[in-house]
A and B are shown apart, each in its own frame.
Chain A
Amino acid sequence: MMRTSDLVASAARALRANPMRSALTALGVIIGVASVVAMVALGSGAQAQVERSIASLGSNLLIVVPGSFRGAGGVRGQAGGWDSLTLDDANAIAAQVEGVLVVAPSQRSRAQVIANGLNWNAQVEGVTPAYLTARDWEIAEGRFFDETEERQARRVVVLGATVARELFPNVDPIGETVRINGGAFEVIGILESKGQTGFGMDQDDVVLAPFTTVKRRISGRNRRADTVSQISVKAVSEDVLRQVEEDVTDLLRQRHRTREGEDDFTVQNLSSITETAQQTTQVFTYLLGGISAVSLLVGGIGIMNIMLVSVTERTREIGLRKALGARQADILHQFGLEAVALSVAGGAIGLVLGVLGAWLMTSLFNLPLVIAPQNAIMAIAFAGLVGVLFGAYPAWRAAKLDPIEALRRE
C-alpha cells in the first residue's frame, strides 16, 4: 500500500519530467475554465446591470398608460387611446383600490429648454409631489415643489441631473431661470441621478414641473385639461402587487366600459418586466457558460489524449512498478492523480485568467463585475471532475496492463 505523500510526489515528478507537455496539456483546461469563469461573470454582470436599471424605475410599481398593446385581431396603436386616461381615473384608483401607497398621474411632453444661452431638448414631465415616492426618487439639491405650488400651477421646475449638467455647466442652477415654450420657470431643485434604464433611456434627461403647470403652460394648450399621459401606481408591498394590478385593471375597465381585449389602457407591471429581463439575461449567461464548457470538454479530451500517450510511453515503467509490488490500485491512483493534478492546476490558472478577463470585459462594456465565490469553487471542482473523468480511462488502461507484456515492451 502506497503512502499518499509518495503518490503525490510520484505524480509531481512525472509532470515535471515533461514540463512543456504538461503545460500544453493543462492549457486546454486553462482556456476552458478561464472562458467559463469570464463568460459567467460577464453574464452575471449583464444581469446585475439589467436588474439595477429596472429597479431604478421604482419598486412595486405599476405604470398605467393609455392605449392597448394587446390587440389580438390586429395592431392597436397608442394613438387611438392617447387621451383615454384622466385625472379622475387616477383619483379613483387612489380612492378605491386597496394596497396602494401612492398614485401619481403625470403628463409628458418634449420641449426645448433654454437657459443662459444654452438650450437642450428634454422631456418635460408634469407630476404631483407623490411622483417622487412612486419612483423612489430623491432630491440631490434644493427642494421639490409641494401640493400648494402644484395646485397653483407655479412656474417652478426640478431638473434631472443630465439637464442640469447640460444647461448649467458652471453655475449652481438653484434659483436660476429656464425658459420653456416661451415661459420662464424657476429652478428649485435637482434630482438625484438614476442613470440609464435597462432599455438604454437616460432617466436623468428630464425636467419635472407641477402637473397643472405643464397642463396649462407647456403641453396642454390643445388638449383636454384632465387627461394624463401616465399614472404611476405604487403598491405598499411586492406581495399585493399582483392583486393591485388586477384591481386597477378591473376598476379602469369599469370606468371605461371596456371588455378584456378591448382595453384602451395598459397596466405595466415593472416586476414582471424585471422577471422577464432576468430570465433573458439568465438564459444568456447559461448559453455563454455552456459554450465555454464545450472548450473545457475539449481540454479534458486533450488530457485524455496525452495521458494515453503517456501510458503507452511508460508501459515498461508500469510493468516494472508492477513487478516491484505496485497493485492495480497504485497504478490507477498514480496516473489518475497526474490527470487530476493537470486539470486542477489548469483550473486554478484558468480561474485567475478568467477573473482577469471578466474584469477586462466588464470594464470595457461598463458592466458591474460580479464573481460569485461559489462559481470560482465550482470552476475548480469542475476542472477536477474533468481530470477524473478523462483521466480515468488512461489510468484504468495502465492499471490493467499485463506486467509480463509491459516488461517486454521496448
Chain B
Amino acid sequence: MHAPLIEAHHLVKLYTMGEETVHALDGVSFSIPRGGYCAIVGPSGSGKSTLMNILGGLDTPTHGRLVIDGADIGALDDEGLARFRNRTVGFVFQSFNLLPRMTALENVELPLIYAGVDAKQRRAQAEQLLARVGLAERMSHKPTQLSGGQQQRVAIARALAGKPALLLADEPTGALDTRTGQEILALFNELNREGATIVLVTHDVEVAAAANRTIEMRDGRIVADHANERTPRHDAHV
C-alpha cells in the first residue's frame, strides 16, 4: 500500500481542431495512493473528462508519463489497453450504460466474459457482487425493470467485477435524484473503507465533498488539490 496506485507526471493531451491546437490537458501531475478516494472537479472544458478517459485507458496522453498499478499507460497498445480496462479499472458512468436486453446478472458478468472467466465462476462472482450492492433480489431483472438508483448499483457491481485496482466514476449521481445520489455516494464510501481506490469526476462540489480529497481543474491544469473535511452527513448513511 506504500507505492502510489496512480502516478501522473506532466500529462499533456493535445487535440487538433482544424488549424487550432487545443490543450485539453496542459501539464498535469499528481499521485493517488492505494485506498485513496479522490474527486476531480471543474467546469466543462476544464479537462477533467479527458483526464478521466486517460486514467481509464480509453485514451492515451500526448506527452507525459502515467503509471497505474505498475503499468505505463502510454506504452500500451490496443490489446494492452483493453486488458488494462478489463483488469485494472472499473467504470461507473452517469447514464449507467447497462445493456437493456440483458439481466442485471448478465450485465455484471460482461467484463468477466472478456476476462475469459468460465460461465459457472462468472455467475457466482456476479451473484456475490449484486448481493454486495444490495440487489440480491433483483438479479434477473432487466435494466428497464429497475429504478435509476438500482441501475447504478448494477453498474457499480459490474465495475467491481474482476476486482479492479481502481474504480472510476464519471458523474455517478448526475442522473439520480438527491436522495438516491446520496445512497450511491454512501456505497462508494463503504467500498472505499473496504479498501477500494476511487476516483470520482464531477462538476458538483457537494458530490466532490464525499471524497477524501479534491483536485480542482481549470483549462487543462490543476488549480487546487486539497484534502476534504469529513462531514458527518456523508458517513451518516453508512
Contacts and interface: CB of A to CB of B under 8 A. Distances in A.
A325 B78 CA distance: 10
Interface in B138-182: 158, 162
Contact of B82 (A3, A317, A325, A407): A325
Interface stretch (A167-175, A187-195, A268-276, A326-334): A326-334
B87 A325 contact: yes
A239 interface: no
B158 A324 contact: yes
Contacts of B118: 3
B50 to A, nearest CB: 9
A330 B110 CA distance: 13
Contacts of B86: 324-325
Contacts of A323: 56, 58, 85, 91, 97
Contact of B113 (A6, A316, A320, A329): A6
5 contacts: A320-B97, A323-B56, A324-B85, A325-B111, A327-B78
B233 interface: no
Contacts of A404: 53, 58-59
Interface residues of A, number: 24
Contacts of B93: 407
Contacts of A403: 58
A95 interface: no
A17 interface: yes
B22 interface: no
A407 B78 contact: no
Contacts of A324: 85-86, 91, 110-111, 114, 158
Contact of A327 (B82, B91, B158): B82
Nearest to B114: A325
Interface in A285-325: 316-317, 320-325
Given A2-B114, A2-B116, A325 B97 contact: no
Interface in A354-381: none
A1 interface: yes
Nearest to B52: A404
B101 A17 contact: yes
B75 interface: no
B99 A322 contact: no
A13 interface: yes
Contacts of B114: 1-2, 321, 324-327, 330
Contacts of B78: 327-328
A134 B90 CA distance: 87
Contacts of B110: 321, 324
A407 B182 CA distance: 25
Nearest to B79: A327
Interface of A: 1-3, 5-6, 10, 13, 17, 316-317, 320-330, 403-404, 407
B227 interface: no
Contact of B97 (A316, A329, A330): A316
A404 B50 CA distance: 10
B83 interface: yes
B85 A325 contact: yes
Nearest to A399: B78
Contacts of B224: none
B115 interface: yes
Contacts of A2: 113-114, 116
A317 B110 CA distance: 11
Contacts of B79: 327-329
B125 to A, nearest CB: 14
Nearest to A316: B97
Nearest to B97: A320
Contacts of A325: 82-83, 85-87, 111, 114-115, 162
Nearest to A324: B111
A5 B119 CA distance: 10
A327 B87 CA distance: 13
Give the 10 A-B CB pairs with smallest separation, nearest first. Answer: A325-B86, A325-B114, A327-B82, A324-B111, A320-B97, A1-B116, A6-B113, A325-B85, A403-B58, A326-B114
Nearest to A323: B91
Contacts of A330: 82, 114
Contacts of B53: 404
Interface string B82-110: 11011100010100010101000000001
A6 B87 CA distance: 18
Contacts of B119: 5-6
Contacts of B111: 324-325
A1 B80 CA distance: 11
Instruction: Choose among B53, B82, B158 the residue with the greatest number of A CB atoms under 10 Å from its CB.
Output: B82
Nearest to A1: B116
